[in-house]
Amino acid sequence: MRVVRKAAKGIKEFLLETVGEVVAELILTALACALLAGLSLLAYLSWSFSPRLTLAGAALFGLFLAHGAWATFRDPTKARGRRRLAAASTAGFSLTACTAVFLLLYGTD
């Protein structure tokens, strides 16, 4: 009788763990697809409003991210003034990099 109870308990734990992993994977995949769809909609609406402003905004955002990457990987002894801009661009770069990795892993399945 103990063997049957132990086997049933093991099966129950396995099923709960498996179902939990499947639900978590579905939630993360749905979140990644919703994020990608939102970014695509934002780009489409921006382009339909004004292609020139869209390109200018993308260029400024690219410069902002480049500054964030430079501030992240530069030698810390050279840090002088303008720490707020460096902190903001580093945070933006980190957030964008994390979002890109998240979309790469879960959006493409």
State pLDDT tens for residues 18-69: 998 999 888 888 887 888 898 889 889 999 999 999 999 889 989 998 988 8
The domain locations on the chain are: 2-107
Task: Report in angstroms the alpha-carbon separations of 49 from 46, 57, 92.
Answer: 5, 13, 25
Res 79 pLDDT > 60: no
Of 98, 89, 84, 88, the residue nearest 69 (C-alpha): 89
pTM listed for this prediction: 0.61
CA distance 10 to 15: 9
1-10, 27-36, 54-63, 94-103 — most confident range: 54-63
